[in-house]
Amino acid sequence: MNARYVGIDIGGTGIKAGLCDTSGALLAVHEVATPPQRGVVDVLDAIAHAAKTAAGETWDDVAGIGLGMAGFLDIPKGIVRFSANFPQWIDVPIGAQIAHRTNKPVLVNNDANVAVLGEAWSGAGKGYDHVVLFTLGTGVGGGIIAHGRLVEGAHGMAGELGHIVVRHEHGALCGCGQYGCVETIASATGIVRLVREAIAQGAHTTLREVTAKAVFAATDDALCARVIAEVTDALAQAMAAIAVVVNPQRLIVGGGVSLAGDALLEPLREAFARKTPAAVREGVDIVPAMLGTTAGVIGAAGLHVHGRA
């Protein structure tokens, strides 16, 4: 039998279902809007329906469904404790509910973990067993694949790479309650903050609008150059910290900020080389993510191949 897996990316605005084969190739995608009231039953019904629609005629070949979503999850039990996208949900047993509606085994994981799994299975980490992903968006997310398997930790909190502390003095307050996390610097929010603070202190800039994208595009702006140096220094420091722990083959950079491409990656590689012992540095490449917004559905499907045993 040609087994198939369905992965579902459950977001506040859309529910995206993808059908994958055993190699991680994405065969079909079906996306629907998240039911506007975001009530439990409506969303669960929409998820089950999206899974069946994505699989179409191959539904009988589907060996499992994976769900990925942001929030505080009990991963082993498949329970959503709390999710900012679904404020009414408290302790929803989403895994059991979708299994009941579909009669398929269901695995659940958070959005950052399924993204790294997608990249490792089918994207920039394909063919490697030791892969770390940093997702640079509004915040900084992350995930770790070691020995070909997702590292979840005792309570599913492993891979919270955005909260590696990189500034021990004068660090900014992070959403997690700590100071100086890499998320406070290398996220889109952090980059904008750095520019705004410098302007408030009298720094001159040619920027017309302060966005992460504009900062990386400004080639002749001394303030932007300084901010880029600070961002890549902080991110390289976090990468060095995780690299000496898990000795990865690929450090993948995804998320909206990563669209800056070489303007981000080149100084990042230089800073990483300065901060990492040679024996760890050699054999690891810093590369851009490849899958974009499909990493979530592919990785969710991959939970049945690379996730919890």
Between residues 77 and 167, which has the closer beta carbon with respect to Zn ion? 167
What token pair was written down for 174? 């992070």
Please work out the total of residues on this chain that contact Zn ion, with binding judged by CB under 5 A. Answer: 5
Between the CA of residue 205 and those of 94, 156, 191, 213, 256, what are the distances in Å? 49, 43, 14, 15, 23
CB of 181 to Zn ion, least distance (A): 3
Beta strands in the chain (DSSP E): 4-10, 14-20, 26-33, 62-69, 72-74, 79-82, 106-110, 131-136, 140-146, 149-150, 250-254, 285-288
Q: Indicate whether 291 belongs to the interface with Zn ion (CB under 5 A).
A: no
3-state secondary structure of 92: strand
Contact range with Zn ion by CB under 5 A, out of 60-68, 75-83, 181-189, 273-281 = 181-189
CB of 174 to Zn ion, least distance (A): 3
CB of 178 to Zn ion, least distance (A): 5
Contact range with Zn ion by CB under 5 A, out of 131-139, 172-180, 257-265, 282-290 = 172-180
Q: Indicate whether 174 belongs to the interface with Zn ion (CB under 5 A).
A: yes
Q: Indicate whether 138 belongs to the interface with Zn ion (CB under 5 A).
A: no
Q: 119, 105, 147, 108: which is closest to 26 by C-alpha?
A: 119
Q: Indicate whether 176 belongs to the interface with Zn ion (CB under 5 A).
A: yes
Between residues 174 and 236, which has the closer beta carbon with respect to Zn ion? 174
Between residues 106 and 238, which has the closer beta carbon with respect to Zn ion? 238
Q: Indicate whether 142 belongs to the interface with Zn ion (CB under 5 A).
A: no
Query: Do strands 4-10 and 14-20 pair parallel, antiparallel, or not at all (unpaired)?
Result: antiparallel
Binding mask 7-26 for Zn ion (x = CB under 5 A): --------------------
Q: Indicate whether 269 belongs to the interface with Zn ion (CB under 5 A).
A: no
Q: Which of 4, 30, 163, 269 binds Zn ion (CB under 5 A)?
A: 163
Stated as kind and residue range, the H or E segment containing 126 is: none
- Find how far residue 285's CA is from the centre of its chain: 18
Between the CA of residue 43 and those of 35, 37, 89, what are the distances in Å? 6, 9, 11
Q: Indicate whether 178 belongs to the interface with Zn ion (CB under 5 A).
A: yes
What token pair was written down for 97? 């509910």
Q: Which of 114, 181, 228, 238 binds Zn ion (CB under 5 A)?
A: 181
- Find how far residue 79's CA is from the centre of its chain: 20
Per CB under 5 A, residues contacting Zn ion are 163, 174, 176, 178, 181
